[in-house]
Amino acid sequence: MDKALTIVVPVYNEEDNLERVEKELGAYAENAKIPVKILFVNDGSKDKSQEMIENICANSDTFNYICFAENRGLSAAIKAGFDHTETNLVGYIDSDLQTAPADFDLLLEHIDEYDLVTGVRANRKDSFVKNMSSKIANGIRRAFTKDGMDDTGCPLKIIKTDFAKRIPMFKGLHRFLPAMILLQEGNIKQIPVQHFPRIAGQAKYGLWNRLFGPLMDCFAYLWMKKKYINYSIAKKG
């Protein structure tokens, strides 16, 4: 089967970044080695994000959108993107573009062999507090999940869509995507990718979201792991 990729872009009050998103993701899609579509998921933005998204989509068949009736959080936005993907590969990137669309090509090199390929942010350009809280949170998650991933919060991933659609998402579970692929007995890999400072807009996560919230989510993951249903079909008649 020929590969095609849908890139999910969650948006929450990112009007200052969307022109750059249009330019950079549009350029990537135009020059990509496989067909690429961009799917905005507007998570109930209160600014002009939706108006800008509709203008972008009206000017290019590469872009499409979903708009939530109200803010439901990043996990819900990613889940909605997975649910509405029709290509056999689905990617994810944040609308602040602290990771580079061009680095999807690095992940695509390995997606034939793996079911999820995620970036690891090299030389992170975040504040000391943000970097340290992320390191601690990743260490906690790694201890709970045993997934071996160094940077599960990296907003640059590609997943085989049939695996992505089987992920039972709940609030906070976007941090556990590699672990949820392992629950499906899938294979995962991490690849170093570029990282850049946020140029515009405001970060949506503070110390609580990055550190204490994920600790609570780990217990939810353990419950999910215990209750998770996985099966394979030997025959059909």
Do residues 88 and 66 touch, judged by C-beta distance below 8 A?
no
Say what the alpha-carbon torsion angle 204, 101, 42, 213 is, to the nearest 10 degrees: -30
- Asked whether residue 203 carries a pLDDT value surpassing 70, the answer given is no
Q: CATH assignment of 5-227, given 2.70.150.10, 1.10.760.10, 3.40.50.2300, 3.90.550.10?
A: 3.90.550.10
Q: What are phi and psi of 132, to 5 degrees?
A: -70, -40
Q: In what order do the strands lie in the sheet with 116-121?
A: 63-67, 36-42, 5-11, 89-93, 156-160, 116-121, 188-193
Which one is predicted more confidently, 225 or 20?
A: 20
Q: pLDDT of 186-202, one tens digit each?
A: 999 999 999 887 677 56
Average pLDDT, the chain: 87
Q: How far apart are CA 114 and CA 159, in angstroms?
A: 8
Q: Which amino acid is at 127?
A: S
Q: pLDDT grade, residue 151 (50/70/90)?
A: confident
